[in-house]
Structure 1
Amino acid sequence: MNQITRREFLRVSALIGVGSIAAACAAPSAPAPVEVAGEPTSEPAAAPAGPAGPIGKYSEAPSLAALVAEGQLPPVEERLPAEPFVVGPGVLVVDEHLDWEVGEYSREGEVLRSVGNDPVWSYPCQHSQEHILNCPPHHTGPITGNLVSSWSVNEDCTVYEFTLRKGLKWSDGVPVTTEDILFTYEDVLLNEDLTPVLASDLKDGAAPNGEPMGLEVVDDFTWRYTFNEPNGSRFLARLGMGNLWAAYSTFIRPKHYLQQFHIKYADKADLEAKAVAAGLGAGEWARLFQDEGGNWGGMDCWHMVEEGRLPVLRPWIVKESPPELIIMERNPYYFKVDTEGNQLPYVERVEGVVVSDLESIPMTIVAGEVNFVRERLRHTDVALYKEHEAENDYKVVLDMVYHNAPVALYFNMNTVDENWCQAVWQKEFRQAVNAAIDYQEIIDSLYLGLGTACPWLPDVNDRDQANALLDQAGLDQRDADGWRLNPDGTRFEFRMDVRLDPLYVKPSEVIKAHLEEVGIYTPLKMMEAALWNQIRDANELYASIDWCDDCNWPFLKDDFMPNQRILWAQLWQRWMETDGKEGEEPPDWMKELYGLHKEIMVSDPRTSVAEDALARFTEWYKEYVPVLPLARDVVDPCLVPKNAGNIAHAGRSSAVWFSLEQVFFKHT
């Protein structure tokens, strides 16, 4: 590895300007829309739309072949399901984004190594999830089976039927059956000790106050989920790529392993002893269950550590997990093959370097310690990475975009500050803020110009219009310093509560400058993330910047809803969730938002009904602008090995990271 001192790092950072690479790196065109499949039918959907694989003849990595020869593993034909998932052109990433080719197995020393400032984000396998369904790329295009060989949904999205791939196995070789489905449903999802609040995705009508979905087990491989009220887009998102990080664990968990930690199955004395041995109270079985992988899902993949005790369905298994390095190796029972019958993944080993903070990531990269990174690279550091590209085993890729906004400006509608609420409740005020912000300046200063403005916002950037709208909103008086006044004569403050992270600080500073040009006093209150979270949960935020999955995800609108991100209308949300028993009644324009969101969530995304609801949602959004995404289709700087194959040349970068099983090292 190349070593670089902190002094050298700072010197190079200061000397290299971003202009030299911004000029050479025009933003790639936005990903082309994928054609939406036709109306759903009651017939099972076809298996993955890929080339048929060889029948009964498969190949495997040399390391696995050696274990077979030694008698430590069964032959590859016995490890694969009867119908393996066949990976080929257009299966995991759409054709127009990737020139797919059959890969090669990695050689000794060829490792995909990532970096992050916490264990969850430090290794590539965090992004190599498996889902019930396969939706390339990310909840668009044909929805096909992944862990299942077939699936179907009825016309009103109340009955879903699935059939597992026969012979699908956990990473320890134990077959996957509907026993695992039933266990996860009855003993995890419906167990209040393990799941105090069931996600609305899994309820009638995708509603927080809906009844839990039902389960019907047909046989060892086939089961149905049933709803009393339609649950379409939201449930399909949970089943497929829409729920990127939670993957299959919402629906399938290894009963044969986890039952030893469950009060229903384990001997009470043994369970208490295990809890005490783990440093817990004798009665804390639920926490023990969770710590052993029972709450595995969402963003928390730390349960995969401890030498891979928890059986998985992923391409790789954790083998070692020291504090500063996570090591994962190939899953010998992985269920996918390429078009020539080669069992995937191609790469034997993936690793994740864990650093103390985000500021340590650039030094780790230029020192040559990693070669495969996304979403942790600041645009302002790209020139530095290019400078050290020749001496390291990576290349900088700038032709894919983020899977989201990536950040947006949110207004808290439910603070105790009456002057604040009187202003932000008016659409004219929010329209004025939108008109005052120069989004192109944000794109240029934060993202080297490699992005576009959000099409859901009126394209204004007009200070005169902003001033007129502010006057119309009742902020037409100013003090001696030129700052706008509340109707009661006090100075209006657009307080921004900002986490101490460049992702949030820099756009906040630009927005402050823009708003103060139209007379809005805009103090920035900087704080650590932990304090920000406390203030958010206490409903004490005013305005703030946060992550946002915007119109790049046409059927996942939760980031615009009050119960997401900065929790920007907690009292209105509570009123809606409790049918008016708690909270405060929202105004009619907010009720309209809830209604449109409901239509989208319960309808099948492949139908004209959903498309119509989305179109009306878009028009509503342009008028009421409750949340302001600051950019979209922003280039996501990535690092990949110089000889990496099956890396997309367009589209979402996350599509590549969620299909790592097809990435390989080229040897010619």
Structure 2
Amino acid sequence: MKRSFVTMVVCLLLFMTISGCFDPPADDTTAVVGEKLTDAAPQTASTTEVSGGTMELKQAPMLDGRNLPPIQDRLPAEVKVTNEMPADMLKYEIGTYGGTLRTVTSAVGWDADVFVMNNEPLLNTPGILGTEITGNVLLGYTASEDGKSFDFQMRKGLKWSDGTPVTTEDVRFSIEDMLFNEELTPVFPAWLKAGGKAEGSPLSFKVVDEYSFQITFDQPYGGFPIRLAIESWRGYSDYLLKPAHFLKPFHKKYADAKVVEAAMKEGQYGDAEWAKFFNDKDVTSRELTKPAALGFPVLYPWVMVKMSDTTTEYERNPYYFKVDAKGNQLPYIDKIQSALVQNIEMVTMKTIAGEVDFSRESAALIKMPLYKENEQKGGYRTLLSDMHVTPTDIFLNLTYADPVWRQVVQDVRFRQALSLALNREEIIDTIYYGFAEPAKIMDSTFNLDEANKLLDEMGMKRGPDGFRVGPDGKKFTVPFEIGAQAPDIVPLTQLIVEFWKNLGLDVTMKTIDQTLWTTRRDANEIQATMMWTHTPLWYMADWGQSFWGRLWKVWLDTGGQQGEEPPADVKRLYDLIDKVAVSPPQEAITAIEEVKKEMSKNAWYFVHIENVKQPLIVNAKLGNIPEKGFAIAADFSGEQFFFKQ
């Protein structure tokens, strides 16, 4: 009764906030693999491009008097007119220049909101819906009818943030001298092989001219363009486009050996550490919020200019290639200031105090009453949009080293029992205030009797202390280690601990630093954890494999060179996921449904809720904020934000 009353109060409190936000969600089976949902052959990417000579270009006042080349010489001949969000998501306005956008993070060297706002993929999918592919950093592309060959066109006149032209030499250097250099890239990325498979043949690359190049695979790879647009938040700098002029002086093929040796010695690198030395000079999209980004040429809307122990600052890129419909160079906002605090609770405190202008990554439904209570005082708005992830998936590491642990958790009956012990309705009511649904991807039945029966069948008897024992006769423990990357992770894990204790299992929870959590996960040292997955969005790739079967994933990603060979049913799951990436749309839809069936049957991990709403905390004066669709789509339109006068 108490819980129902709380839900009713929160619903009343949020009514005005959420009106219009609950249209039926798009069916996640109507996915697009590199084109619109059609059986037609792939076509040229749909782009909205304008010649720089046909519109009057304007720059921000901040750039006046900086002795820069004229704006028409800084932007490409065919500028990118920014993708307006779908009309039902955003009422677009031409903005005004100026201001500093304040964000906050509790992770050292990482601000997810800044990362998403700044990152630029080679291609784009408006609203991050995956239903359309347009140009972005690249002008566009065409695909062959057999899905094997892709011709890409670059923007003539595009420039790095230091003013150096971007050409196919940057692409050639990135692919031939870095990607295909075994010292720098010892394991060739599977997504750049035929079919996106580790055992596939690497891509073939050819320069056509200064602004055109071709990538070819020896097998159909219809999903390749979508992987350049959205999957894994992959940016232009992830393998395919690097500033050759900046990196060549550190590359053994181009630089004087003595100069490189001296630079390595100065940086305290060993004689055999050239690859590490060079890769440390490079900055990928995931490193754009790290110290190495200082001084590195980029194509982002904002460039890092200062970093301290408490704050990272970014300023507008004078050479950024996007404009609005009136020819105003973007971004509208001059600067970003990212504050670093000690923990997620301090993030919340700064947010409700009005010291943050935009917060999505760290906002959580469980904090909604607090957000709403402080809106007027903090000068912000609280919006509810769709979450692009399933936010609190539960993982047991099936490849953890302990043989007793493996014997238990690799038994599907154990996983089915734990799923049956999850009270989804209580989770939705308690943690998400009713703004979620039980997941349909797996059986969401709550049945403790059946769960206990399955554990009894496994021979997991209860000891004198009431806890169940494993095959070795000792108390079997499920030790959760969580990084508390979001505010709902800790309270939900606490709830899961109680659910599974009701089965007679010894379940513990330990919160650790996020950096340590990542290190331990990558080292296969975490047995049980909670984290989000991007399955609703990255349907072609993200099914939590790094968490529930890390060594199996490593084996598959490296073509058997590392990791551990998975059992046949896991290989089948991967084959189905791979099929999604290479199939025409209708076949991909069928493959996705097969993946879901396998997930439900085997309970590889626990996707217990879906269709969760995501709070978005924004300064009340901030314009061009999408109020429907995926909340993270707001980050993607960050260059369009502006402060209303």
CA separation of 1:125 and 1:73: change in aligned 2, threshold 3 A: farther
Match of 2:409 in 1: 424
Q: CA RMSD in A?
A: 3.1
Partner SS state of residue 285, structure 2: coil
Match of 1:93 in 2: 85
Instruction: Quote how far apart the aligned CAs of 1:163 are.
Output: 0.5
Distance 1:420 1:354 in 2: 38
Contact 1:456 1:551 in 2 (8 A): no
Contact 1:115 1:361 in 2 (8 A): yes
Match of 1:543 in 2: 528
Aligned residue runs from structure 1 range 333-348, under 5 A: 333-348=319-334
TM-score relative to the length of structure 2: 0.88
Contact 1:85 1:336 in 2 (8 A): yes
Distance 2:560 2:310 in 1: 49
Match of 1:364 in 2: 350
Contact 2:480 2:507 in 1 (8 A): no
Instruction: Quote how far apart the aligned CAs of 1:305 are.
Output: 3.8
Match of 1:352 in 2: 338
CA separation of 1:80 and 1:463: change in aligned 2, threshold 3 A: same
1:149 aligns to 2:139 (yes or no): yes
Distance 2:565 2:182 in 1: 29
Letter of the 2:75 counterpart: L
Partner SS state of residue 225, structure 2: helix
Letter of the 1:496 counterpart: P
Match of 2:188 in 1: 198
Instruction: Quote how far apart the aligned CAs of 1:230 are.
Output: 3.2
1:404 aligns to 2:389 (yes or no): yes
1:665 aligns to 2:634 (yes or no): no
Structure 1 residues 574-611: Cα deviation after superposition (integer angstroms, max 9, x where no partner): 6656777876654332232122122123335xx21211
Contact 1:204 1:227 in 2 (8 A): yes
User: What is the percentage of aligned positions where both structures have the same residue?
Assistant: 32
Match of 2:606 in 1: 628
Structure 1 residues 132-186: Cα deviation after superposition (integer angstroms, max 9, x where no partner): 1111233511111112222022244321210002221212222211000001111
Match of 2:572 in 1: 592
Match of 1:58 in 2: 56
Partner SS state of residue 609, structure 2: coil
Contact 2:52 2:75 in 1 (8 A): no
Match of 2:549 in 1: 568
Match of 1:434 in 2: 419
Contact 2:115 2:286 in 1 (8 A): no
Aligned partner of 2:157 among 164, 167, 175: 167
1:302 aligns to 2:265 (yes or no): no
Letter of the 2:637 counterpart: S
Distance 2:562 2:317 in 1: 49
Aligned residue runs from structure 1 range 520-535, under 5 A: 520-524=505-509, 527-529=512-514, 532=517
Distance 1:497 1:76 in 2: 54
Aligned residue runs from structure 1 range 67-86, under 5 A: 67=65, 72-86=67-81
Distance 1:280 1:578 in 2: 27
Match of 1:446 in 2: 431
- Stretch moving more, 524-533 or 309-318: 524-533
- Number of corresponding residues: 627
Match of 1:182 in 2: 172
Match of 1:32 in 2: 26
Structure 1 residues 44-85: Cα deviation after superposition (integer angstroms, max 9, x where no partner): 51442x486885222323426733xx7x22322222222211
CA separation of 1:115 and 1:86: change in aligned 2, threshold 3 A: same
Match of 1:270 in 2: 259
Match of 1:5 in 2: none
Distance 1:320 1:527 in 2: 29
CA separation of 1:99 and 1:323: change in aligned 2, threshold 3 A: same
Distance 1:96 1:356 in 2: 38
Match of 2:490 in 1: 505
Match of 1:455 in 2: 440
Partner SS state of residue 233, structure 2: coil
Partner SS state of residue 303, structure 2: strand
Distance 1:313 1:580 in 2: 36
Aligned partner of 2:317 among 316, 325, 331: 331
Letter of the 1:560 counterpart: G
Instruction: Quote how far apart the aligned CAs of 1:624 are.
Output: 1.6
Letter of the 1:335 counterpart: F
Instruction: Quote how far apart the aligned CAs of 1:567 are.
Output: 5.2
Contact 2:283 2:293 in 1 (8 A): no
Distance 2:316 2:349 in 1: 29
Instruction: Quote how far apart the aligned CAs of 1:194 are.
Output: 2.3
Letter of the 1:85 counterpart: K
Match of 2:633 in 1: 655
Distance 2:370 2:439 in 1: 29
Distance 1:167 1:25 in 2: 48
Letter of the 1:474 counterpart: M
CA separation of 1:496 and 1:246: change in aligned 2, threshold 3 A: farther
CA separation of 1:197 and 1:223: change in aligned 2, threshold 3 A: same
TM-score relative to the length of structure 1: 0.85
Contact 1:237 1:243 in 2 (8 A): no
Contact 1:111 1:351 in 2 (8 A): yes
CA separation of 1:617 and 1:212: change in aligned 2, threshold 3 A: same
Contact 2:399 2:548 in 1 (8 A): no
Instruction: Quote how far apart the aligned CAs of 1:540 are.
Output: 4.6
Letter of the 1:654 counterpart: I
Structure 1 residues 642-661: Cα deviation after superposition (integer angstroms, max 9, x where no partner): 12221111121211101211
Distance 1:160 1:136 in 2: 21
Match of 1:137 in 2: 127
Gaps of 5+ in 2: 1-5
Instruction: Quote how far apart the aligned CAs of 1:491 are.
Output: 5.4
Instruction: Quote how far apart the aligned CAs of 1:628 are.
Output: 0.6
Match of 2:44 in 1: 45
Partner SS state of residue 88, structure 2: helix
Match of 1:9 in 2: none
Gaps of 5+ in 1: 1-16
Match of 2:241 in 1: 252
Structure 1 residues 68-110: Cα deviation after superposition (integer angstroms, max 9, x where no partner): xx7x2232222222221122xxx3532222222222223xxx2
Structure 1 residues 224-258: Cα deviation after superposition (integer angstroms, max 9, x where no partner): 1122233343x334311223154444311111122
Letter of the 1:437 counterpart: L
Distance 1:56 1:583 in 2: 55
Letter of the 1:497 counterpart: F
Distance 1:476 1:258 in 2: 58
Aligned partner of 1:493 among 471, 476, 484: 476
Instruction: Quote how far apart the aligned CAs of 1:417 are.
Output: 4.5
1:158 aligns to 2:144 (yes or no): no
Partner SS state of residue 427, structure 2: helix
